[in-house]
Structure 1
Amino acid sequence: MTNKNLLVELFVEELPPKALRKLGDAFAGVLAEQLKAQGLAPADAVVTAYASPRRLAAHVAGVAARAADKAVSQKLMPVSVGLDAQGQPTPALLKRLAGLGADASAVAGLRRAPDGKAEALFFDSVQAGVELAAGLQKALDEAIAKLPIPKVMTYQLETDCELPGWSSVKFVRPAHGLVALHGADVVPVKALGLSAGRDTHGHRFEAATDPVRIADADAYAATLARDGAVIASFDERKAEIARQLAAAADRVGGGCRPIEDEALLDEVTALVERPNVLVCQFEEEFLAVPQECLILTMKANQKYFPLLDAQGRLTNKFLVVSNIAPQDASAVVQGNERVVRPRLADAKFFFDQDRKKTLESRVEGLSKVVYHNKLGSQGERVERVRAIARAIGQQLGGDVLAHSADTAARLAKTDLLTDMVGEFPELQGIMGGYYARHDGLSEDIAFAIEDHYKPRFAGDELPRSPTGLVVALADKLETLVGMFGIGNLPTGDKDPFALRRHALGVIRMLVEKDLPLELTALLSVAVPAFGDKISDATPALAEFIYDRLAGSLREQGASAQEVDAVLALRPQRLADVAQRLQAVRAFAALPEAPALAAANKRIGNILKKSEGEGAAVNTALFVEAAEKDLHAAMQAIVPSADAKFAAGDYTGSLQALAALRGPVDAFFDGVMVNADDAALKANRLGLLQSLHEAMNRVADLSRLAA
């Protein structure tokens, strides 16, 4: 049986750049998975995905021309059903055999074996291995069907038959070529109305030959690079672009570096087949415009890489990744410089026009901007954010912070009415900061306006000032409380108001800034600002936030058991959670931990079943030595553990309680809690209640029990 490497390529019109990498990985992944499932490729076969603007391809190592035959054993039916009293086949058995392509002559060869309940009949046969052509056809059909296509196109293809005509084909883009090579041999498969061959096409303008003939599967990438002027591998093309960007920045000098943007690099990689990085420039007068505006228009509209100097400031030079490499690139450079100039001129015009009106003068206009049909206008929203910000500011910094937070909250949304933000919504907040400085407002207010959307994404920095922190908290709480209050909750992967991100933002600010705010009280502060527009959904929102916190902690490496133990108590100060987790982790490492966790779980179950039967502990009612000893141990240990808890030494508090293991074990070994004497039972339940409360101040230790 011959094993050779396999190459399959679909040659198509330009694929959607933002989806290219995913399409390439999916095509290669499903194709290889199907070949492995049919026994045509080994389970550890090396799979290489290729993806360029006009092709999806996969190289799979060690593919067989024909899969190995395999023994198949099929259970037919119980012996008592398949054979009569004389051992002859019943009609049911004969019918089943016929369905498998066998007849009565196969009865003698049937195998008898127990199936767990009774003896059954089994039909053993050898299944012929699939031929590569048939197996690859199935794999190719499956790979095409499972492509994560963002939007399907329907196009017409001339039929390949004696009668002329056209057929409709649906795919991400019109396909024009199919290559399928097993070693040097063409595999006769079809897809999207195309028959496989060994010819493909290279670069539109710079290919040395057309078509490009692929001699064998292993020559694919090298042949395309040599004859087609195409780097077929997405990763290799991306690495080459990154290398050229760095080299071009070095040539410019002055410590310049291209802006780092992984998404932009991926998108540009998906736009070119033969990258050639060129240095361009624009007039220095445009640098008077905030650099965020210039950077955004160059990246978003033109796919350029702006150059920053050693201090991170924008220069008037930028890098273009061209798809052609002429000997004289001056025309390409001049063309890109000519294209970018109107974009930058627009940004400068917007900036100049916006500064003719103050942010204060725009406040009234927010009342005409709809926020949500159930929650009113942006103007109404601003008033709610102001009220929440004043309340939080008062708690954290008194009148001074409350006043500055109120001022910033009143102006924070006004840049939504500016031309610049109208053109580039991504700049909301950022432009507000620039315009606030132009209006003569303090840096504190400007920073707060700029930062009140932070954190915008995972890993983003938090607001820089207390004022910004308060306004950011108020803004996110207004969104969360409002949306939960009208029942507009995230479902599955849909979260149009980014409530999950807002919740994580609130968590990060409370935790990383160590704010002395209790979660339930904080949520309750926001509710009155809505009046009768919402229902109070504070409990559901609190659970949502704890759920986000649990997920975040697990992502950071905490075990699910530890997180569950800490969050089961619903700690109100989220800033304490990390210390509680550390304490639980240290406690779990103690030799006493498993026994105490198990005892704690047992105590919890006892108290649940005997709810309301406990009483204040009366030492005069103690009968057994073990209950006296447990009470005495608690009197000696619990005050110290409580003192450490109050001081924030959660680790010390739990470790102090570890000394209770011996008395607790002795109690359960020698004391019957559910005594016949009601007073005795109530007293013992009261003792366990006191113990339960003492042991579960840091975390619910029963959650640590196996």
Structure 2
Amino acid sequence: MTAAQPHLLVELFVEELPPKALKKLGEAFSSVLAASLKAQGLAAADAAVTAYASPRRLAVQVAGVASRAPDRAVQQKLMPVAVALDAGGQPTPALLKKLAALGTDGSVLPQLKRLPDAGGKGAETLFLDSLVPGATLAEGLQKALDDAIARLPIPKVMTYQLADGWSDVKFVRPAHRLVALHGTQVVPVQALGLQAGRETLGHRFEAATPVLAIDTADSYAQQLREQGAVIASFDERRAEIVRQLAAAAAAQGLQPIDDEALLDEVTALVERPNVLGCQFEREFLDVPQECLILTMKANQKYFPLLDAAGKLTNRFLIVSNIRPADASAVIGGNERVVRPRLADAKFFFDQDRKKTLESRVPGLAKVVYHGKLGSQGDRAERVRAIAHAIVNQLRTATVPYTVEARDEFEVLDSKAQQAARLAKTDLLTDMVGEFPELQGVMGAYYARHEGLRDGVAIAIEDHYKPRFAGDALPRNHTGTVLALADKLETLAGLFGIGQLPTGDKDPFALRRHALGVIRILAEKNLPLALPALLAAAFEAFPAELALADDTVAKLLPFFYDRLAVSLREQGYSAQEVDAVLALQPPRLGDVAKRLAAVRAFADLPEAASLAAANKRVGNILKKVDGAVGTTVDTALLNEPAEATLHQALAALAPLADKAFEAGEYAASLQALAGLKAPVDAFFDAVMVNADDAALRANRLALLGTLHASMNRVADLSRLAA
């Protein structure tokens, strides 16, 4: 490819594309088409690719595209020489038939090469060297265009009829024009019943001319902007919206709400954005701001404006697709449209507060949770039981969890029970019925309205947390207990009836629930053992539901697999993670300290040798039939090296154990570094599998003791090269 080669432009002009899918559609169309051209040799591997996507078009520009791809040298394997040639060296009928199939004949016999068979049998094989003509741009672009259309991530396909009245086409939306320009020349390709040309359409209402004839592949974006009133680039259009939103908000001393998904969706709805300021009546601010914000964003695609404290104001911004000289009609129309929405929210809020959350509890029995797991009422009772078990585990933990006195635990238990009983009642409210995204949030508002005990309202809202990666954790102790109980109930129940996630399918978001539990346990450093929590969750289900007996056994590895993925994403090496999680540490709050200790240990000069020795010890112990003894008889330590190892272990193991019990994992592993020399000497001088059964058993017991001491923090054998 050379710089002199012209650029290529391809555009599909269609009816309005689904806004939530537009960004991915544009990226896929450009990337697949460009990749195909590069693979065919029509564009350089590093050729610049520019994607365009607007509500009514998908387009791509590829820099420096050749009119024809270079010819390619190809070596074609024919057949073994013994089959291809007769005793006189003349071509056999089989060879002639093969050559004919390749478009040639026996005249190429002098050009054939004899090479050893790559299959390894040593027989000589005939090969034909030929030059395959490179694809023309028309041929290559047709293939690339077909590939790009076939591989679009279309959320829902439409079937529509072409102008001939007979042919049907399946595509995301009806397509009306196809542009394909190589520099100034139209490339004769077709797609979706359309023949390529150079004409497209601009803005529905504000284009300077009804039809735009694109002069060259390079002038596409500029012509659309200047003549068509369209910003073709998705990224440029989005950046312009961000700029206008910031300027309009700053002019009022406010700030627009931060919502990346809303920005993407609005960018996909307009061709030339025009941000305008609107307002609504202040009386609606009595409604919880979450409700107002949600209805403005979800239903109207508006950007609510917040004050410096993050509180909602009665002002909002719209992104219009037109730029009238007098925008008052557009502003007034949008203000009229949003008013009924806000009035509905106020009505729902006022009506919901006429009933207490407690009065809604019986209604949960009529709401199906899962066909095999009963109603939301049944679920609420199970969550209460699990929450109670969690509080009891906290009460009996070796390290107290912030609350030390028994009466404080009783208060925590009482709050958790009340919050668990009421947590799902807002599912029965009008507001949550209209806006399911507000479950928990509205429950907290209604709880505060009723004057419920401090912390219960927060717990009702926070029991869904964390809802997504990076979300905040529950803010108080009651919310923490309830969030754990709710997620554990979900996991135990669905695992118990066999609804496990598979591959990329996880309809009940069980991976997210497991990560939520992991984050709460780890980041809050709770003195709770994961196996005990899972057992408590399993026990909360009545026998008649018949959960699988191996539910906890399946859940444990699922949790540690999720934890392993999370830790590797945080930057820990696979070796470090494997070493720590191989022991399945019950307290997840310890994992970070264990990982830090393993990393520090790996930097010690003795680490590699000890890890290798640990692996060797583990392999020896695995091959032993029966149990390995735990007591070493010093009278049977005949070899100096085994006596020295026993003495070193007796001196260092208590130090390592003391540090381990204190949670000082790095110090525990460092104490074991002193075992390197005696361990090396032991394996150099001592035969473990001695003929004498007593000696053999004693040496195995010594190695078993060594292995147990070395692997309390992590399985050090996983660090061996």
**Structure 1 Cα separation of the partners of residues 528 and 474 of structure 2:** 17
Please show how residues 440-459 of structure 1 align to structure 2 within 5 Å.
440-459=451-470
Whether contact under 8 Å (1:6, 1:61) holds in the other structure is yes
Do residues 550 (structure 1) and 593 (structure 2) align?
Answer: no
Do residues 567 (structure 1) and 567 (structure 2) align?
Answer: no
Q: TM-score, normalised by structure 2?
A: 0.96
Partner deviation per Cα, 1:669-688 (whole Å, 9 max, x = no partner): 11111111111111111111
Deviation at 1:631, TM superposition (A): 1.3
> What is the identity, as a one-letter code, of the residue corresponding to 1:634?
L
Please show how residues 152-163 of structure 1 align to structure 2 within 5 Å.
152-159=157-164
Deviation at 1:542, TM superposition (A): 1.2
**Structure 1 Cα separation of the partners of residues 580 and 211 of structure 2:** 65
Q: Gapped runs of 5+ residues in structure 1? A: 160-164
Please show how residues 410-559 of structure 1 align to structure 2 within 5 Å.
410-532=421-543, 533=545, 534-536=547-549, 537-559=551-573
SS at match of 2:680: helix
Residue among 694, 698, 702 paired with 2:713? 698
SS at match of 2:162: strand
> What is the identity, as a one-letter code, of the residue corresponding to 2:585?
P
Do residues 594 (structure 1) and 608 (structure 2) align?
Answer: yes
1:137 alignment counterpart: 142
Do residues 150 (structure 1) and 161 (structure 2) align?
Answer: no
2:90 alignment counterpart: 88
1:125 alignment counterpart: 130
Q: Gapped runs of 5+ residues in structure 2? A: 395-402, 404-408
1:162 alignment counterpart: none
Residue among 376, 383, 386 paired with 2:374? 376
Residue among 339, 342, 367 paired with 2:340? 342
Residue among 266, 272, 275 paired with 1:274? 272
Which sits farther off after the overlay, 310-319 or 579-588? 579-588
1:672 alignment counterpart: 687
Which sits farther off after the overlay, 237-246 or 390-399? 390-399
Do residues 48 (structure 1) and 50 (structure 2) align?
Answer: yes
SS at match of 2:63: strand
1:203 alignment counterpart: 203
SS at match of 1:320: strand
SS at match of 2:104: coil
Deviation at 1:226, TM superposition (A): 0.5
SS at match of 1:450: helix
Do residues 637 (structure 1) and 635 (structure 2) align?
Answer: no
2:184 alignment counterpart: 184
Which sits farther off after the overlay, 315-324 or 109-118? 109-118
Whether contact under 8 Å (1:614, 1:684) holds in the other structure is no
Please show how residues 610-621 of structure 1 align to structure 2 within 5 Å.
610-612=624-626, 614-615=628-629, 616-621=631-636
> What is the identity, as a one-letter code, of the residue corresponding to 1:158?
A
SS at match of 1:264: helix
SS at match of 2:592: helix
Which sits farther off after the overlay, 191-200 or 664-673? 664-673
**Structure 1 Cα separation of the partners of residues 56 and 598 of structure 2:** 55
Residue among 317, 320, 339 paired with 1:319? 317
SS at match of 2:65: strand
SS at match of 2:457: helix
> What is the identity, as a one-letter code, of the residue corresponding to 1:413?
K
Aligned-CA RMSD value: 1.2
**Structure 2 Cα separation of the partners of residues 652 and 219 of structure 1:** 68
2:386 alignment counterpart: 388
Partner deviation per Cα, 1:203-255 (whole Å, 9 max, x = no partner): 000011121121111111111000000000000000000000000001112xx
Whether contact under 8 Å (1:675, 1:681) holds in the other structure is yes
1:285 alignment counterpart: 283
Do residues 627 (structure 1) and 642 (structure 2) align?
Answer: yes
Q: TM-score, normalised by structure 1?
A: 0.98
Whether contact under 8 Å (1:23, 1:148) holds in the other structure is yes
1:659 alignment counterpart: 674
Aligned pairs, how many? 699
**Structure 2 Cα separation of the partners of residues 125 and 486 of structure 1:** 62
SS at match of 1:215: coil
**Structure 2 Cα separation of the partners of residues 625 and 184 of structure 1:** 90
Deviation at 1:394, TM superposition (A): 3.0
Deviation at 1:84, TM superposition (A): 2.5
Whether contact under 8 Å (1:391, 1:402) holds in the other structure is no
Partner deviation per Cα, 1:528-561 (whole Å, 9 max, x = no partner): 2211112341110111111111111111111111
SS at match of 2:64: strand
Which sits farther off after the overlay, 503-512 or 521-530? 521-530
Whether contact under 8 Å (1:394, 1:401) holds in the other structure is no
**Structure 2 Cα separation of the partners of residues 508 and 613 of structure 1:** 38
Deviation at 1:82, TM superposition (A): 1.9
Deviation at 1:77, TM superposition (A): 2.0
1:299 alignment counterpart: 297
Deviation at 1:64, TM superposition (A): 0.4
**Structure 2 Cα separation of the partners of residues 156 and 341 of structure 1:** 40
